[in-house]
Each structure stands twice: as structure tokens, then as C-alpha cells.
Structure 1
Amino acid sequence: MILLAWQPSDSQKILEAMLQRLPQTHKEYAYARERLGRVKAGLAGEQRVDAEWLELDLPAPHYFLHDFQTRNDFGSTHQMDTIFLCPHFLLILEIKNITGILSYDASYAQLTRTTIEGTVEGMVDPFLQLERHVAWMKKLLQRERFHLPIVHAVVLATRNGILTKGFEGQPIFHVTGLRSCIQRWTEMYQPVKAEALLPFATRLLSMHTRLKKEMTVPFKEMMKGVVCPHCGNGQRLQYHYRKWTCPRCGLVDHNALNRTLEDYRLLVGPQLTNRSFREFFAIESPNLAYKLLQQLPLKAEGEKKHRKYWIID
């Protein structure tokens, strides 16, 4: 059972909104496009691992929490790609969609990759990340007085990531190795009572909190207004007779307000006023802006010119 499903990250949504509103000649455009490509590649890797899970004969009952995010007692964050719980063990997976020749030096906690062009790049040590997550999970299990063995691994979602001898003894394998590892761990550990598993899985779910990642947004240089989702280069929709219509392709966008409000939330923040709404939506009339604001899922505070609005999650 999937208790927590994959969801598009705010990072992906912000980058997509930026690319739709930035001129292609802007200095940040190429960087945002390259970064979005990395985010989508990571999502593709996660989907590849999901496809492998579907082919496995898994112990029952079992529960998945994907992209689990939380904070510990010290305020530090934990983000785990996949948590898999079954009566035999709890598995924490770190999913990597890395291509090239991969090398690892445990004495320096150093992971590097050599690209097809011969460039050597340093990368974050995923094993230290996993060990930190495992330590936190062990403390949580002790606090909840629930005993369940913890295993962990790095999964390479692409066969184009080539492991060298430096990885010997490390918990890392290609996605096709997931089947044999699940079988080995199932045989290694005695199962707990099945009915005791769901309460702990539910406890984990209650601790999940979407973590906000800071990202520099060149807001002043962006195209303002309600942008056509089909046309490129920031083509604006026109508001006429209570409809948002694209003068280029003829699209009548019935979701234009809510879609652009989401862009505002991602690029500006959750709070707005009549003035900031007009500036972002490219509307001149305060009266029209007021009428449109009443159509949106907002919480209003204050009166008249001091009124502020908050976007409801």
C-alpha cells in the first residue's frame, strides 16, 4: 500500500514557471532549463524504480512512503526517497539517476563520476546521507517502542552508471538488484506481528512535512500577466466578457486564474494585496482586481486599502 505517493516538487514547479516567464535570452534561462532537466531526470529514475517494485513478490502487509520529508528535534531536515516497511524490516532507499564511471573513496567519503566527455565531477556522499537517516529512524523506533530491523541502500536507476571497485562492501546496486536484496533481507529477519506495522507507518506519515527549498528567482525580469499554457515566449491571455482568451491560438482558459495564482505562490509567496495582484496579473483596474480576487481560494484580513489576502493551501 502506498501511504505517501510521489508528487512534483516545488523546485520543479518553480523552474517551469520561471522558464515560461523568462525571455530565452535572459542569463538565468539556460541555467534554469539545465536544472529542470536534472530534476526531471531524477523523477524518471524514481519512476524506473517504481516499475521494478511492481514486479516483485513483496511480504504482506507492506507500506510505501515516497519522498518522505521531516525535521528532527534539532530542526535539521531529513528527506528520504523511499521508505518501505514490511513485517521483516524497514528499508530506506536513496535513488540516484547518475550516468558515467562512478568512483568512491571511503577514507575521504568522496564520490566522483567521470562523464563520457572525460570531465571528473565531485558528488555528495550518499552513504553518509543514508547513515544519518538510519540513525534518526533508530531513535524514532526506540521512542515508539517498536522493534524493526533497518536496512538501507543506494539504488542506481540507470544502467549507464558504471560502478568501480571502490564501491565494494557499500550498500549500492543497480535497480535490477532490488529483487535479490528484498529476498535476502526477508529471509534474514524474523517478521514482527503484522498488525503492529500499520500504526508505526501511520506515525511516520503524520511526521511528513513538505520542506521548502530556497531558490533565487529573477522576478523583476519575468513576464507578468496571465500566460497562455500552449503558446511560448510569455504570450498573455486577454480578459474579456469574463473569459481569458489567447489572441494567438484562440485558447479559452477556464483555469487561468487559479493557474496564475499558483505561479504567484511559487514565485512571490503566499501573501498578496490588490496592488501586488494587479502587478503580477497585469490588471490596471483595482475594481476588476477586487472582483477577481473574490473568485480565488484566499483568506482575507483587514479592510479596504489595508486588506491582505493569503493563499489557502
Structure 2
Amino acid sequence: MILLERQTSETQKMLEALVQRLPISHSKYTLYCEHLRRLQAGFAGEQFVDAKWLELDLPFPHYFLHDFQTMNDFGSTHQMDTVFLCPHFVLILEIKNITGKLSYDASFAQLTRTIADDTVEGMTDPFLQLERHVVWMKKLLQKERIDLPVLHAVVLATKNGILTKGFDGLPIFHVAGLRFYLQKWMERHQPRVRVDLLRFANLLLSLQTKLKKEVEVPFKEIVKGVLCPQCGSGQRLKYHYKKWICPRCGLVDRDALIRSLEEYRLLVGQQVTNRSFREFFGIDSPDLAYKLMQQLPLKAEGVKKHRKYWIKE
């Protein structure tokens, strides 16, 4: 049973909105695009592994928390790609969608990959990340007096990530080996029949915290206005007779207002004023801005020129 669905991260959505509105000539355009590409590839890999779980026959109570995010008592964050709970154990997975020849040096806690043109790239050590998560999970289980072992593994979502001998003995495998390793772990760990698995799963769910990773938004340099989703390249829609119309392709966009408000939330924030609305949406008239804002899910505070609005969740 999936208690926590995997969703597109706020950081990815921010970058998608930003890339749409940033001129290609901007000095950081390529940097933002590369960051977005990595996030999209990672998300696609996570979804692929999620789908592989569905192919397994699991004839016992089990719970999934995908992209579980929380904070420990010291204010440090934990972000676990998948937490799998069953009567045998708790399993924490770190999912990687990376290609190339992968090498690992445990003495330096260093993961590298070599791609086709022999470029070597350093990457974050996933085993150190997992060990932090395991320590946190074990403390929570101990606090709740729950006797369950905590396992961890790195799962490669693509067969094009080639493992070398440096990974011998480490908990890492390709997603095709998920069934094999799951069976192996279950044979090693007998089920705890007295564990209230659902209670612990709900406890974890109550500790879920949305961890927002900030993206630096060069607000003055982004393209303002309501943009055409078909044309791209910063093509602005015209508001004519209560319709948003693209003068280039002729699209009549009925979702323009809501979509642009979501982009505003991602790139600017939750608070909206008539002035900030006009600046972002490319509208000159305060009266028109007011009328359009009445159509949106906004909560008003204050009166007249001091009025502010908040985007409803």
C-alpha cells in the first residue's frame, strides 16, 4: 500500500517555470537547464523503480513512503527516495539514474563516473547519505520500542550504469535485481508478528516535512507576461474580450491565468498585490488586474491600497 505518493519536487517545478521565462542568452540559462535535466532524469528513474515494485507479488502487509522528507532533532534534513515497510524489516532505498562506468573509493568516500568521452565526474557518496538515514530510522524505532531491522541499498534505475570492483560487498544493484535481493533479505530476516506496522507507517507519515530547496531567481531578467505554452521563446498572450490569445499561433488558452499564477507562486512567492500581479502578468491597468484577481483562488487581507492577497494551497 502506498501511503506517500511520489510527486514532482518544488525545485523541479521552479526550474521548469524559470527556464520557460529566462532568455536563452542569459549567463545562467545553461546552468539552470542542466540542473533541471538532472532532476528530471532522477525523477524518471525513481518512477521506473516504483513501477518495478508493482510487478512483485508481496503477500504480506507492506507500506511505501516515496520521497519521504523530514528533519532530525538537530535541524538537519533527511530525504529518502523510498521507505519500504514490511513485517521483516524497514528498507531505505537511494535511487540513482546515472549512466557511465561507475567507480567507488571507500577510503575517500568518493563516487565517480566516466562517460564515453573519458570525462570523469565526481558525485555525492550515496552510502554516506543512506547511513545517516539508517541511524535516524533506528533511533526512531528504538524510541517507539519496535523491533525491526533497518536495511538500505542503492538501486540503479538504468542498466547503462556499469559497476566496477570497488562496489564489491556494498548494498548496490540494478533495478532488475530487486526481486532477487528482496527474497534474499526476507529469508535472512524472520517476520515480526507483533509489530504494529501501520501505526509506525502513520507515525512516519506524520513526520513528513516538505523540504524546499531554494533556487536563485533573477526576477528582473525573466520574461514577464502570460506566455504561450505552444510557441515558447517568451511569446506573450494578449488579453482580448476576456480571452487569452496568442497572436503568433492563434491559441486560445483557457488555463492561462491559473497556470501563470502557479508560475508566480513558484518564482515570486505566496503573497500577491495588485502591483506585483501587474508586473508579473504584464498588465498595465490596475482595474483589469483587480478583475482578473477576483477569478483566482486568492485570500484577501486588508483594504484598498493596503490590500494583499495570498495564494490558496
**Which TM-score bucket, shorter chain as reference?**
over 0.9
Deviation of 1:141 after TM superposition, in Å, equals: 1.0
Q: Distance in 1 between matches of 2:299 and 2:195?
A: 42
Structure 2 SS opposite 1:93:
strand
After alignment, is 101-110 or 187-196 more displaced? Answer: 187-196
Letter in 2 for 1:57: D
Q: Write the letter of the residue equivalent to 1:276.
A: S
Question: What displacement does 1:134 show?
Answer: 0.4
Structure 1 contact 15–36 (Cα < 8 Å) conserved: yes
Give the equivalent residue in structure 2 for 1:198.
Answer: 198
Write out aligned runs for 1:145-164 (5 A).
145-164=145-164
SS of the equivalent of 1:154 reads strand
- Correspondence 1:44-59 to 2 at 5 A: 44-59=44-59
CA contact (8 A) 1:59 1:86 kept: no
SS in 2 for 1:91: strand
**2:97 counterpart letter in structure 1:** N
The whole-number CA distance in structure 2 between the counterparts of 1:18 and 1:209 is 24
Residue type of the alignment partner of 1:103: S
TM alignment of 1:151-230, pairs within 5 A: 151-193=151-193, 196-230=196-230
- Alignment partner of 2:196: what SS? helix
Match of 2:238 in 1: 238
4+ long deviations beyond 4 Å: none
SS at match of 1:217: coil
Deviations 1:125-147 (A, max 9, x none): 11010000000001111222222
Identical positions, percent: 73
Report how far residue 260 of structure 1 moved.
0.5
Secondary structure at the counterpart of residue 229 of structure 1: coil
Per-residue CA deviations over 1:34-69 (Å, capped at 9, x if unaligned) read 222111111221122123212212242111111111
Task: Name the structure 1 match of 2:135.
Answer: 135
Look up the equivalent residue of 1:151 and give its one-letter code: L
Task: Determine if contact 1:100/1:115 at 8 Å carries over to the other structure.
Answer: yes
Note if 1:12 corresponds to 2:12: yes
Instruction: Report the counterpart of residue 39 of structure 1 in structure 2.
Output: 39
8 Å CA contact 1:101, 1:163 repeated in 2: yes
Q: Distance in 1 between matches of 2:59 and 2:206?
A: 24
* C-alpha distance in structure 1 between counterparts of 2:252 and 2:86, whole Å: 49
- Using the TM superposition, name which of 293-302 and 261-270 deviates more: 293-302
Judged with a 3 Å threshold, the aligned counterparts in structure 2 of structure 1 residues 192 and 168 are, in CA distance, closer, same or farther, namely same
Q: Distance in 2 between matches of 1:210 and 1:248?
A: 39
CA contact (8 A) 2:94 2:153 kept: yes
1:309 and 1:240, CA in 2 relative to 1: closer, same or farther beyond 3 A?
A: same
- Could you tell which deviates more after superposition, 276-285 or 296-305? 296-305
- Give the C-alpha shift of residue 241 in structure 1: 2.0
Helix, strand or coil at the partner of 1:260: helix
Amino acid at match of 1:246: C
User: Cα distance, 1:192 vs. partner?
Assistant: 2.2
Alignment size in residue pairs: 313
Question: Which one-letter code corresponds to 1:261 in the other structure?
Answer: L
C-alpha separation in 1, matches of 2:32 and 2:259:
20
Contact 1:61-1:194 within 8 A present in 2 as well = no
CA RMSD of aligned residues (A): 1.4
Q: Distance in 2 between matches of 1:290 and 1:262?
A: 18
> Normalized against structure 1, the TM-score is what?
0.96
Deviates more, 1:168-177 or 1:21-30: 21-30
Aligned residue identity for 1:14? M
Deviates more, 1:26-35 or 1:163-172: 26-35
Query: Aligned equivalents of 1:33 and 1:268: distance in 2?
Result: 19
Decide whether the 8 Å contact of 1:12 with 1:39 is kept in 2: yes
1:72 — aligned with what? 72
Unaligned residue ranges in structure 1 (runs of 5+): none
Residue 169 of structure 2 aligns to a residue whose secondary structure is coil
Gaps of 5+ in 2: none
